[in-house]
Amino acid sequence: MQDPPSEVGCALDEIDTPALILDLDAFDRNVAKMASYAAFAGVGLRAHAKTHKSSAVARRQIAAGAVGQCVQKVGEAEALVSGGIRDVLVSNQVVAATKLDRLAALASQAQIGLCFDDPEQVIAASRAASRAGVVINGLVEIDVGMARCGVPPGRAGADLAKRIADAPGLRFEGLQAYHGRAQHLPAAPEREAAIRGAIRAVQQTQEALAAAGLSASTVSGAGTGTFRIEAESGVYTELQAGSYAFMDLEYAGISGPDGTPFAEFEHSLFVLSAVISVAGAGWCVVDAGLKSFSGEKGPPRVHGREGYEFLGMSDEHGKIAMLDTADPPRLGDKVMLIPGHCDPTINLHDWYVGVRSGVVHELWRIDARGASR
């Protein structure tokens, strides 16, 4: 793990670069907005820690009203439980016995949920929970249109729920019904249509559950791009949004309901870089590249400097063009960049540098960085 790039009390300009910057005022507003929206809609906010990878962020989301966290990996759950989080759902399938034993060990300290889409996973998790003498809450993942994990809605979901309900060490809790592909569909009506389909898939599965004498006390899903639709469906009980706390260019690129840019949340996450070369004719080079932000959703965008356009990046270089009208860059100038995709960008860094009014107020460890197992 790298040392923090700054100390508390430093000015923004004194932070070593590249550094992952969190604008704490914007972050607080995003966290409060989603929490109060969930309270208003009468659903739980189970914020997704795959995005933030940090028990420090999780604690703030929970302090603001979140009911718990979800994760994709057992290693993320371990980091959160170790950081004091007491309600974690693994919104994913886990197969390996060694991983299930690690997860079962957490269930003696925290409420732990796990998703299933195959009877074999149920048998393996039941064994691990029984060995550890704990109970794991089981959710049936149904494929609500994402075509990734999940059983088909309806009867198949009820059949698997029955196996969970009957398995020692497991308790059937409900349905995982996340539609990831819907989150970034560019137009709001497309997102709405996709989630309407997800809602029907949940309802169809609930009917099959009722016929089998079961019911889902939890229906978990939704993300930053669609959370209002799930929340107001009367069917979902939990929201799994993660990016809302930070925003990124991918979410900034979708449209809101009236066709204007999606503006539910503010950009709170940046990479601070520094100009290391001004030798080029019409461009400068900063010290942040593919090892400071993930590039699969395109390059970052320059924030707060008129006439600067990010052109491209290599491992440790970012190339930025300047319009003729732009202030010329000087060596050492700091440049704030908005990442294309927040989740894998955060996973590159070891620290959030939390800034308020241009001064470093907090240093939060990204304690689940790299926790992919």
How many residues would you count in the chain?
373
Scan residues 306-325 and list those touching a second copy (CB under 8 A): 314-317, 319
331 lies in the binding site for a second copy (CB under 8 A)? yes
Q: Looking at beta carbons only, is 37 or 117 nearer to a second copy? A: 117
18 lies in the binding site for a second copy (CB under 8 A)? yes
Scan residues 217-236 and list those touching a second copy (CB under 8 A): none
Q: Looking at beta carbons only, is 282 or 358 nearer to a second copy? A: 282
**Min CB(336)–a second copy separation in Å:** 16
276 lies in the binding site for a second copy (CB under 8 A)? yes
248 lies in the binding site for a second copy (CB under 8 A)? no
| Count of positions on this chain that bind a second copy (CB under 8 A) | 64
Q: Looking at beta carbons only, is 15 or 229 nearer to a second copy? A: 15
Read off the tokens for 251.
């979410």
**Residue 94 CB contacts under 8 Å (≥ 6 apart), including other chains:** 74, 100, 103, 114, 121, 125
Characterize the bridge pairing of strands 136-141 and 170-176.
parallel
| Helix 155-166 × helix 188-211 angle, to 10° | 60
Q: Which of 15, 1, 3, 38 is nearest to 355 (CA)?
A: 15
Which of 5, 68, 83, 153 binds a second copy (CB under 8 A)? It is 5
Radius of gyration of the chain (CA): 22
Helix, strand or coil for residue 132?
helix
Report which DSSP code applies to 3.
P
Read off the tokens for 47.
């914020």
Q: 174's torsion region: left (phi>0), alpha (psi -120 to 50) or beta?
A: left
Q: Looking at beta carbons only, is 93 or 111 nearer to a second copy? A: 93
117 lies in the binding site for a second copy (CB under 8 A)? yes
The rounded distance, in Å, linking the Cα atoms of 310 and 300 is 7
180 lies in the binding site for a second copy (CB under 8 A)? yes
The rounded distance, in Å, linking the Cα atoms of 292 and 294 is 7
Read off the tokens for 70.
């979800």
Q: Looking at beta carbons only, is 2 or 260 nearer to a second copy? A: 2
Q: Looking at beta carbons only, is 74 or 235 nearer to a second copy? A: 74
Scan residues 128-157 and list those touching a second copy (CB under 8 A): 143, 147-151
Binding site for a second copy (CB under 8 A): 1-2, 5, 16-19, 50, 72-73, 75, 92-96, 98-99, 117-118, 120-121, 143, 147-151, 180, 274-280, 283, 285, 287-288, 290-292, 294-296, 314-317, 319, 331-332, 341, 343-344, 347-350, 370-373
